[in-house]
Structure formats: C-alpha cells, structure tokens
Structure 1
Amino acid sequence: MSGCDCTPTVTDLKPYEEAVELLLAHAKPLTDTEDLALHDALGRVLAVPVKSGINVPGWDNSAMDGYAVRVADIPREGTTLKISQRIPAGVAPTSLEPGTAARIFTGAPMPEGADAVVMQELTCQQDGEVIINTLPQPGAHIRRTGEDIRQDEEIIRPGVHLLPQHLGLAASVGVGRLTVFHRPRVAVLASGDELQMPGEPLKPGMIYNSNIFTVAGMLRALGCEVIDLGQVEDTLEATKAALTNAAGQADLVIASGGVSVGEEDHVKPAVEALGELNMWKVAIRPGKPVAFGHIGDTPFIGTPGNPVSLFVTFLLFARPFIRKLAGLTEVMPVTVQASADFEWNRPDKRREFHRARMEKADDGSDIVRVFPSRSSAVLSSTTWANGLVVLPENQTIQPGDRVQFMPFCELLS
C-alpha cells in the first residue's frame, strides 16, 4: 500500500530571519511628500531634515532665580551689594553697574559685565540691597549661547517618526512646517464565504469577521491610510478581480485567509496568476502559511485566516515592511530580556512567538508568563497578553531561564 505525504518538512520552510530579510529587500520607501503644519505632523515620518536657523539659547541667560553679579565684586561671604536693576524673562537688560547686583529670573538674559548668578536661596534682600552669603564661581548658573542648539545644526533627521517632543523641538527654533512622507495606502480584504459582519444576527455555519477590524486597526496604529475592500467571494475569479482592484489603488495589499492549500484557498493561486509569489510558508508558529509576492508592481502580503496567526504574522512581517515603506529608518521591533515564569517542555521544530505577559515579581524583577493555550483561534489571548515571548526552536525552557520578550507597546507603533 502506497501513500503520499505532501506536508512540508521544516527544512522546506523559510527561516524567520530569512523571511524578514526577503520582505525588507522588496520594500521600496515611498518618495512622495507633503508639507504640514506642526499641529498636523504628529505621527508622520520626516522626509527633509530640520535645521535650526538660530542658536538656542539665543543669548547667555540665567538658569536660576537669583542675582547676576561680578565675581570680582564679592571678595568674601556676607558681601552686600546694591540692587541696580530687575531682569525678568523677556526684558533686555542694561550693563551691570560695577559693585552692584541685578535681580534676575530663570531664562532672563544676562546683563553685560555679569559673570555668575547667585541662587536667591543663598542671599538675603533688604532695603534695596542683597547680602551674598556664598562665594560664587565664574560661570555659575549661566546657560551659554548655543549651549543646547547651534545655528545651522541638524536637529531632526529624516526617517524619524515624529513624536510630540520632535514637534516641540522644531517649534523651539521657529520652524512652523515640516516636510513628511505620504502615509502608506494599504488595501485590505478578507477571504471566506463563512464570514459575516458584526452587528447582524449570526447565521448558521457563519462566523463574525474579526480579521478585517484587527488588520485595519493595526494599520491605523502604524499611521497608514486604510482602503477597506471588505470580503471576497470564495472563487478564483472573484479573488483575482478583488486583488487587481486592490493593487490598482494601494501601495501594499494585505489579504487574510486563502493562502493555505485547501480547495477553497484561492488567494495563493490568484497572486501567482496576477504576478509572482516570492515567499510562502515560514518556519514559525503560529502563522506558517504567510505569503509575500507582487500583484503587478504592487507588493502583497497574505496572512493566515486564523485570528491569532493573522495578528502574529502581521506584527512579525507586515509591520517592518510597512515601516520601511513609510520611510522609517528603524524598522525592526526591540526585544527585552526577562525571566521565564513558566515551564516549556513541548518545544516545536519551528520558532514560536507565543502570547505572553510581562509582569513584576515580588522582588521587582521582570518575569514573563505565557497564555495556557497554543491555539491560533483563541483571539482573547491577544488581549490577555501584553507582548510575545520568543521560544527558540527545539529548546525547552525552565522557570528562571532568560527569554526574549517583544512588547505590544513596541510592536503596535
């Protein structure tokens, strides 16, 4: 009796690092740009460097509330000086008269002739005079011109994901508009006649379409413009038509489901008919049947239909691809080390990215717990978890072993 086993072995699957490298090699950063006001630039990717047209600070100024003095006028502790002027921030001072002190406030310009600031806590003021109770050092509590930023200095480099502090920095040098890359336009569609949109009574044999909301949400979290093309009928012709429509209006097409080997899985043959499939099946768990290719010139990523597999493969593959597409210079997620608070005696031949929680132990150290089920259909595990723990292939783990953890707060940005 003969048989046929068409199940691919691990050696037929592409290793995780090679798969990511292949995707990134095909990711062509977008070049179209637009100019935005600072208020509108949050979360965008900078395309043109920001240079300062001024020094910051623009003049020597006081770092403290206190008194601007000449050090030479204070030979000993307890010296008394006349207060000759008052300098709040925003006021241009006159030169400091010899043998006097100027009342000065934080950020106010230093008067010409002063070479130190004495903190007000180290003084006593009475009848228009101030007693200096300490011997100041030259330069004490003075912020020098250009100490923070020099004129013509590049202060924000291209490829940076603009955070609130970047906008504040640009504003601090008088820059009111920034040139940013266009948002990546990503078309998303879901395959499966069994899918039904939420908000309606569930029909027999149907399931609610959660994948489209998961993918669209993750894309928006990455700053993408989402083109939601909805659900595709489970036929090859309908799938080809939907993919052609998607590729014509997007920088990237993402489809969930239909990339496995079942008779109702039409996405893979449709992509092969319309363009090329550069990758199919990766040595990871969950999410082995993740696909990458092109529909014409438009890149395509196909994820498994199981909701957890979709979630994980998007974070591992679509995220770095999209970040490079968007013009970001740092595309790979940051991992952190922590101690395992679990026993893992069932290692897989594939690398596993398991849903996990990083928590604080009683001693304050970081520990990682894992979700009890390995099922790729348990979507609730993705809300229980706050990251993914990396479980190397063919390796057992004991409590206390060091493991690599990928936080969702990093992966979903």
Structure 2
Amino acid sequence: MTAAVSCFDSSVAGQMLQVDESLRRILEAVPLPDQSEDVPLHQALDRVLAEPAISAINVPQQTNSAMDGYAIRAATRGGALPARFEVVGPLFAGQCWDKAVAASEAVEIMTGAPLPVDCDAVVIREAVQRTGAFIQFDHAVAVGENVRQAGEDIARGSCALAAGTLLRPQELGLLASLGYTHVRVFKRLKVAVFSTGDEVVAQGQELAANAIYDTNRYSLHGLLGRLGCEVIDLGIVADNPQAMVAVLEKAAAAADVVFSSGGVSMGKADYIKSALEQVGCIGFWRIAMRPGRPLAFGHLGDTPFFGLPGNPVAVMVTFMQFAQPALRKMMGQSHWQPRRMVAQAESNFRSRAGRTDYSRGICRINDAGTLVVASTGKQGSGILSSMVEANCLVEIGDNTEKVALGDQVVIQPFSDLL
C-alpha cells in the first residue's frame, strides 16, 4: 500500500485549537449524503427527507368550522345587535350543506364540518342562548371567526416539509395527512466502531489489576443508535501497529464513518499516527476544551475518521460537540445545531479563560419559574456517573474565567441525543 500524503496543516500542527475552529474544519471536511431510498411511511421515523414533500391537496381540504357552534352570514349583519337566528338544521363532520342559508338563518355545525357556502363565520355554542329553533347572542361576530380556511395550514402545491427534515412523529402525522404512503429518505449511515488499548478488556473476561472494562464502545453504540446509524462493531484492537492498520483498512472498506476511542493522547500519538498515516490522512489536534482535549480527525481514503479520547466522559462530550454535527450533516441535516438555553447557576462551576468547559449539570424549573442548573458534583473525565446523573451540559465559553452562584450560563439539554 502506498502511504497517504500527510494532511497535517503546518499552520496549526501542534497548536491548541478552539472548539469553534475545530468544528468548522470537521464540517468542511465531511460530505453531504448522495444516496437515498424509498421507505414506507411507518418505517420512516428518525430518517431524513431526501427531497421536499410537496402537498397534492389543501390542508384543510375545505373551509370548515374550528368549533362547535352555529354558522351564520356575518357579512350581511351590518353590525346590528342583538341578533336572532332561526336554526335550520345540524351539520356534522363528513357531511355537506347543499341548501341556501338566509341572512336570518343559522346552521348548527360541528367542529371540522365544511362551512355552508353562504356562511362566513361561526358563533361558538357557549356564546349563544337557544330557545327552541332560535338562537340569540349579544356580541359582534367578525367574518372568518372560528373558521379554518381551505389550505390555510398547507396550500396545494406548496412545500410541506423541506429536504433535510428529520422525521419525528409529528412529521409522520403531517405526511400521512397529505396522503403519503412512502417517502424518499437518505440512506442510514454505516459507522464502524472499535476500542484500542492493551489495558481494555471485554465484559465477561477476568479483570486484571491493571485492566479496565471496555466502556466507550457501548456508549458509542448508544449514541450512534440514537442517531439512527447502523453500527459495525470491530471490537477491541491491541496496541499493535499491524493490528491497527488491518482494522483501519477493514473499517474504511465497510463503513461511511469510522470511530475509535483511546490512543490519541500525547503519550501514544506517535504510535497511532504511524498506523493511521499508512491508511489515510489524519490530523491530530489539541482542542482548548475540558474534558476531551485530544482528538484525531481525518480520512481513511474517502471515509471520515474520528479518533476520540479514552476517558468515558471525554468520549461522550467530544462526540456531542464534534461527531454529532458531522454525522447529522452526513445524514442530510446540513444546518443542524445543538439546542442551547440560558439558565441561572445554582452552583459554582470551574472554568478557565482560553478554553471551553463542558460541566455536567442538572437543570430544572424552580418554584419561581426560572430555569436553573446545578452541578452533578465531581467533574473528572473518567467519572461516568456524572453523565448518568446529568440532564445537560453546562457550556462555559473560552472568554469566561468562572461561573458563580446566580450567574447566567449556557446549557445544552440532553434531549437532542441522550
């Protein structure tokens, strides 16, 4: 095999990159999807639309009543109050009124029923007094009141959902309301995952004094599964250059993206770098963040590669900040960004100017109705229990030296992924 030309950018090699700069470089380097498929609508949950969904009908299809009440001709009333109308019949959803309606008449109408052609407003049932076949009310009624116009939600021929839309349950319902039975979506990403290190052992094996169970591969399985990726599990790879080259070649041939965890700290950078450069074009970066400073990113041939840190919390945090946006772009969500909110700190959070800190936090609405966030406690990059207890990351930017009790702070809720 011919060794790949090094992709190390001499202008940044060895430098400490900021989070935004690192993410920009990664997003510029990963491709948009180019393969799609038709799937039944009921199997399209969490897939991404590959083409716009154009409505073939008006939604609602007909002008109809938004409330239970009485349909009248408001435009001919001239504002005269009080008004008395004779009820000439009931009209239920699924029926049509094919008779003329005089200015002094009203049609009892149910929610969703098509508005009689002569009528232009609905008086809600609770606002009228009915005596036998007559109703009376003492307030003004505007044209269009309590009426849903045909096509006011979605007009025939308009774009109901844009390409790149993630299909959640509500989008599936919308497409079903338009009569869709199948949709064209981007194909699922195939992602290869492996762990590295002689100290890493599989569950079920004896745990020696100097060993640790493989944690990161399972976290990555879960994160990738939540994104709808197909995971190719390549297990644990020993600290051996030949084994590393072999697994990288296998991964690049089988997957759209490759992830490893461990082996990218400064202590092992030369060994990993040597193996990776035989297969691809890899850049090692030091990122001004905590946790998760070391990161390897590049390509194995045409396949993007992420070398994540070894500490469990660092793996999850770097995945959320760098891998998730890249994967979502490759899935077709090219403009996705993590959800961010501003909360009031109920704890002091450690930070340092010049780096971005991601502390694990627990956010809630307090008795005063304010969004607040407290620390989960110890924030070491190996304390996986902090991720279990947390429901958000507290994002402390590189211009902030500290966050004190009562300060405003940005949080990233876990609802997007965890």
Instruction: Give TM-score, length-normalised by structure 1.
Output: 0.90
Q: Is contact 2:14-2:285 (8 Å) kept? A: no
Please list, as runs of the form range in 1=range in 2, the aligned pairs for 1:87-236 lying within 5 A after superposition. 87-98=91-102, 99-125=104-130, 127=132, 129-134=133-138, 136-236=141-241
Task: Report the more deviating stretch, 316-325 or 258-267.
Answer: 258-267
Residue 384 (structure 1) aligned with residue 379 (structure 2): no
1:188-211 superposed Cα distances (whole Å, 9 cap, x missing partner): 000022222224443443221111
Please list, as runs of the form range in 1=range in 2, the aligned pairs for 1:216-295 lying within 5 A after superposition. 216-262=221-267, 266-295=271-300
Deviation at 1:31, TM superposition (A): 1.0
Per the alignment, in what secondary structure is the counterpart of residue 248 of structure 1? helix
Of 314, 317, 332, 1:327 maps to: 332
**Structure 2: distance between partners of 1:136 and 1:346:** 60
**Structure 2: distance between partners of 1:105 and 1:343:** 57
**Structure 1: distance between partners of 2:207 and 2:285:** 33
Per the alignment, in what secondary structure is the counterpart of residue 254 of structure 2? coil
AA aligned opposite 2:165: V
**Structure 1: distance between partners of 2:318 and 2:77:** 71
1:197-254 superposed Cα distances (whole Å, 9 cap, x missing partner): 2244434432211111001100111111111111112201001100110000111000
Task: Report the more deviating stretch, 211-220 or 259-268.
Answer: 259-268
**Structure 2: distance between partners of 1:50 and 1:294:** 34
**Structure 2: distance between partners of 1:61 and 1:290:** 58
> What is the aligned partner in structure 1 of residue 90 from structure 2?
86
Deviation at 1:125, TM superposition (A): 4.3
Deviation at 1:112, TM superposition (A): 2.4
Q: Is contact 1:181-1:326 (8 Å) kept? A: yes
**Gaps in structure 1 of 5+ consecutive residues:** 1-8
Task: Report the more deviating stretch, 220-229 or 370-379.
Answer: 370-379
**Structure 2: distance between partners of 1:374 and 1:262:** 23
Per the alignment, in what secondary structure is the counterpart of residue 90 of structure 2? strand
Q: Is contact 1:84-1:102 (8 Å) kept? A: yes
**Structure 1: distance between partners of 2:304 and 2:27:** 11
Per the alignment, in what secondary structure is the counterpart of residue 281 of structure 1? strand
> What is the aligned partner in structure 2 of residue 398 from structure 1?
404
> What is the aligned partner in structure 2 of residue 368 from structure 1?
373
Deviation at 1:110, TM superposition (A): 1.6
**Structure 1: distance between partners of 2:53 and 2:343:** 38
Deviation at 1:346, TM superposition (A): 6.1
Residue 408 (structure 1) aligned with residue 414 (structure 2): yes
Identity percentage of aligned residues: 39
**Structure 2: distance between partners of 1:119 and 1:173:** 29
Deviation at 1:77, TM superposition (A): 2.7
**Structure 2: distance between partners of 1:264 and 1:293:** 14
Deviation at 1:267, TM superposition (A): 3.2
**Gaps in structure 2 of 5+ consecutive residues:** 1-11
Deviation at 1:116, TM superposition (A): 2.6
Q: Is contact 2:51-2:184 (8 Å) kept? A: yes
Per the alignment, in what secondary structure is the counterpart of residue 17 of structure 2? coil
**Structure 1: distance between partners of 2:130 and 2:365:** 51
Cα 1:208–1:100 shift into 2, 3 Å = same
> What is the aligned partner in structure 2 of residue 31 from structure 1?
34
Deviation at 1:405, TM superposition (A): 1.4
Number of aligned residue pairs = 402
Per the alignment, in what secondary structure is the counterpart of residue 232 of structure 2? strand
AA aligned opposite 1:159: G
Per the alignment, in what secondary structure is the counterpart of residue 164 of structure 2? coil
**Structure 2: distance between partners of 1:66 and 1:263:** 75
Cα 1:90–1:342 shift into 2, 3 Å = same
> What is the aligned partner in structure 2 of residue 308 from structure 1?
313
Cα 1:330–1:130 shift into 2, 3 Å = same
Deviation at 1:398, TM superposition (A): 2.2
**Structure 2: distance between partners of 1:87 and 1:236:** 78
Deviation at 1:65, TM superposition (A): 1.4
Moved >6 Å (runs of 4+) = none
**Structure 1: distance between partners of 2:194 and 2:341:** 33
Q: Is contact 1:252-1:300 (8 Å) kept? A: yes
Cα 1:94–1:253 shift into 2, 3 Å = same
AA aligned opposite 1:401: D
